[in-house]
Amino acid sequence: MKTNQLTIFVILCLISAFTFGQSKTIDTYKSTLNWTGKAAFNTYSLSGTLKVKSGAITIENDSIKSLNIVIDMKSLDHENKDLKTHLRGNDFFEVKTYSQATFKLSKAVSISNNEAQITGEMTIKDISKTESFTIKLNENYSELSFNISIDRTDYGVKFNSPSFFKKMKENAIADEFKLKGNLKLD
């Protein structure tokens, strides 16, 4: 009898967990964010890292109800110290003034085959734009990954942009950069 009661209790707990949703925080120590930028007219590229400052996701009935990610822009890193300083400075992300970037999901989306097409508000340098991209989740929703292209000029980062400086040639930096995330969820 006690075994049956325990079994029923466990089943009810599992059902309520999936019915009422799972709220998970992003583990900022185990999560990774990698960025890649490249030249506009040749194959030169460079990459580095950023850190997640905080974040959370709520999943209910195979739908993502909320997703918030805060990126620590002061953590912007590259192995070349001068380049790192330049990227953090006024020509690019001005991290002393704009110390964080954010993403907030605009509306709930369904998860299908452990993937979801999400749309939300990305804010960089206090400029907010709508961004859409695909995220992938592992089977038990403990890990989320994405690879997004972001047009830096949408956020006021115009240094050496071929869209604004037509005669840059080999010094032009592509407008889009890639941000690849692998976020661990607790």
Residue 33 in tokens: 């964010």
Q: How many CB atoms lie within 10 A of CB 20?
A: 11
- Residues 94-139 have pLDDT tens digits of 999 999 999 999 999 999 999 999 999 999 999 999 999 999 999 9
Between the two ends of the chain, the Cα-to-Cα distance in Å is 35
Give me the chain's average pLDDT, please.
90
- Chain Cα centroid distance, residue 52: 8
Q: What is the CB neighbour count within 10 angstroms for residue 82?
A: 8
Helix (H, G, I), strand (E, B) or coil at 50: strand
Locate 5 and state its tokens: 């009661």
Residue type, 75: S
Both structure tokens of 145? 């990954």
pLDDT digits (tens, 9 = 90+) for 40-71: 888 889 999 999 999 999 999 999 999 999 99
Domain 22-184 has CATH 3.40.50.300: no
